[in-house]
Amino acid sequence: MGGSFYLMFSYFETGITDTKCAKYLGLPELRQLIVNNPNAQKIAKIRSLRKIGDSHYKSLKSQLPNITPNCILRERNLEGENLEKNLIQFSQYMFFDFDDKTNPQEYKSYFIDKYGHKASLICLSTSLGGISVLFKIKNQVTVENFEDIWYAVKNSILPDEQIDTHCKEIGRAMFISHDPDVYCNFENEIEVEFKDDSSSDNETKEEQQSKPCKKNINNLISPFSLIPIEDVLQKIIVHTIVPVTNPIVDFRPVEFVEFFIPKVIRDGTKHVTYTRMIHTIIYLNPNIEREYIFSYMFYINNRFAKPRMEKREFIRLFNMVYNGIKETGQAIVNKAIKCVHFNTQANLTKEEKIMISNLLNGFKRKNESIQKIIDAKEELKQQKQRINKKRIAKISKLSPKTVRKYYNTQLYDIDEVVKMVNDSVPTNTILVSISNL
């Protein structure tokens, strides 16, 4: 997972006439929608109608969910003063649409071979008239330079390709296609050179900049007061806090998020890693002051990055990600279900925690297998079929060995096991006997 995951797009659910953003999607969610599109049958019909020349496919296509790949919007209406009102921020991706009516699949393969080291996403288009492509841009994208950067990508990277120039519109829609073999690279990022024609005169340039752009520039160069790391660590939360009532351990499923720092953060991964970290730390500390998060990330960049990210680039990235999260109200994190929760007052060693976790999670896995066997037996009984191990293995999708092992086993009482663990203090002798159950 990485930073390109957390740069987002606005999602419009009910077609091109739907201008109200329903939610925000990251690149992983977009990829999953393209791979397992719930509108796959409708898209197949659109493609078949287009193939036979039936123009009705266009109205069906217009009803499909879509995103604004170039930016994050409150509402898809950027005319006049609505630009400042509805544009939250640029996604840092740029959308390109390529027509190839002869053989889109072949063109997609060619495009992956030639540009796969630069593109973030390549997929067949919704109506199968070509391909849709996203490039992640390292340059800071603004209202003023958007079109310049778009043309810089077109002319410097894609000079040999036929591109639909309507894509250069900031609020251009991209219909969510269906392509189980979509190409996706979360770490690719390109930087382009382009001529800034606004003005070399600072005063004129300031007058030409829109208010959102001024805000971005001011944030980029604003000084931050660094807080000592000792003070940061005393205040910042790095994992989901789960209250524990038992003296040793509680066992219950809880949605869990944990902040993780790699031992070494290498070049080519910094944007990805830092974006993930900022999202996670804001999710875990929604009300903490901005300076604490900046100071923590600044410390991580200095301590773990090899080499460090240059300070100006670090501040630019931090501001872009932080402001995007605060604007959208969404911090995207990796959540896991964790069942074993230790009492912090128990003073257990690492080895003891591992032993107890393995024990309780082992019983949980056993119960899951036993329950599948019980359910398979009940299904066979309802169907009035003969109950045997072979049929149970087929229905439950468990291995024959697992079915044989737990065929006549009753569900374990995990609450009782948890009680025995908590009652085992201060000796571990009961833990050893439980592990043999």
The 10s digit of each residue's pLDDT in 132-142 is: 999 999 888 88
Which pLDDT belongs to residue 178? 97
The token pair that represents 12 in the structure block: 């419009």
Do 22 and 171 fall within a single domain? yes
In a domain, 120, yes or no: yes
Which pLDDT belongs to residue 433? 47
pLDDT band, very low/low/confident/very high, at 206 (cuts 50, 70, 90)? very low
Do 24 and 143 fall within a single domain? yes
In a domain, 216, yes or no: no
Residue that is written with structure tokens 């297998």 in the block: 369
- What pTM, to 2 d.p., does this model score? 0.57
Cα separation, 362 vs 421, in Å, equals 14
The identity of residue 186, as a single letter, is F
> Is 80 exceeded by the pLDDT of residue 249?
yes
Which pLDDT belongs to residue 266? 87
Do 152 and 31 fall within a single domain? yes
* Backbone φ/ψ region at 330: left (φ over 0), alpha (ψ -120 to 50), beta: beta
Cβ pair 185, 5 in contact under 8 A: no
Cross-sheet strand order for the sheet of 93-99:
93-99, 130-136, 121-124, 183-184
In a domain, 338, yes or no: no
Alpha-carbon separation of residue 307 from 229, 252, 265, 301 (angstroms): 20, 42, 8, 9
In a domain, 417, yes or no: yes
Do 240 and 377 fall within a single domain? no
Do 99 and 50 fall within a single domain? yes
Do 324 and 382 fall within a single domain? no
Domain of 383, in residue numbers? 348-435
Lowest-confidence segment of 98-107, 294-303, 420-429 by average pLDDT: 420-429
pLDDT tens sequence across 169-195: 999 999 999 999 999 998 899 998 876
Which pLDDT belongs to residue 93? 94
Do 304 and 383 fall within a single domain? no
In a domain, 274, yes or no: yes
Do 104 and 171 fall within a single domain? yes
In a domain, 207, yes or no: no
Domain count, the chain: 3
**Is the pLDDT higher at 228 or at 206?**
228
Do 173 and 32 fall within a single domain? yes
Do 49 and 169 fall within a single domain? yes
